Structures are given as structure tokens and as C-alpha cells.
Amino acid sequence: MTSRSSEHATPHTRHHELTGHTEAVRECRDLTRQAIGAWFGAPEGAGAIAVEDALLLVSEVVTNALAHGGTPYELRLDHSAGRLWVQVSDTSPVRPRPHGPHRAGRASGHGLYLLERLSEAWGWVPRGEGKAVWFEVTVPTAAAPRR
């Protein structure tokens, strides 16, 4: 899998076009980690936990896109006012929905539950022939964006 950064990126936004899917989860986590490092530095304490939560949610959203949504084709990252916003677009128009109640003992089926528990907000919107799933996480003030 490769990604190409868009020339439309701003100091607060990163846009990556994704091609292929064999390394999508790892690559999206790496791209998100790089953006967080550039925007927030190396947070400690609660900030480090927020970063790990964000990376876990990126993994879950991309994994869900691969398993249920066709092919992820774009990763968008943005930040403002102490929040990180992440959006993953894929080729399926089918809305994300849980497959029954959450059961901690199952090997899979935790992605939407984690989005609900770890993000400040999440949702999805139709996008072209597919959809975009997005989420926001708060970044503690100790890890405020660099100016």
C-alpha cells in the first residue's frame, strides 16, 4: 500500500490518497502518528493515552473499511481547538452498524463500540459511491498544538 499526500494540505489538515490495501491499517496509523507528532509534539501522561486511543481508533476504522466497506481510499486528518479529527473514506455505501450487542469475549465486533467509548464524537456521511467514517478525539491541554 502506498499513500500520496495531497497538495491541498494546510498546516491544520493532511489528506492522503490510499492505494491498495495490504498495509492499510499500518500505513494509516503511521500517517496519523506523524501528523500528531508534527501538530502536538510528544505528549506525556493523559496526552500520550489520547494519542494511543486515536491510533487504536484509526486501526479500527480502517479495519472495518477493509472488512465491511470495500477499499479505503482516503485518510484525512485535521486539528483545531484541542481536537484531532480523522476521516477514512471507502468504496461501500453501506452505513456502519453493530452486528448485535457488544460482547467483550468475542474475537471481533469491537470497532464501533470502541468508537463510541473512546471518541468525543463519530459518524459517517455518504461520499461519492461510498462513505466516509469520521471521529474526533480531545487532545489534553498539556499536548496543545504547536504554533
Residue-by-residue pLDDT tens, the chain, 147 positions: 334 444 345 678 999 988 756 688 999 999 999 998 888 877 778 778 888 999 999 999 998 888 886 788 899 999 987 789 999 999 999 888 776 665 666 656 667 888 989 999 999 999 999 999 999 998 765 444 455
Q: What angle do CA 134, 76, 2 make, to 5 degrees?
A: 120
CATH code at position 17: 3.30.565.10
Model's pTM, two decimal places? 0.83
Domains in the chain, number: 1
User: Are 110 and 59 contacting, i.e. CB atoms less than 8 angstroms apart?
Assistant: no
Give which of 131, 139, 22 is closest to 82, Cα–Cα.
139
Determine the structural domain holding residue 129 and report its residue range.
2-143
Nine-digit cell string for 146: 504547536
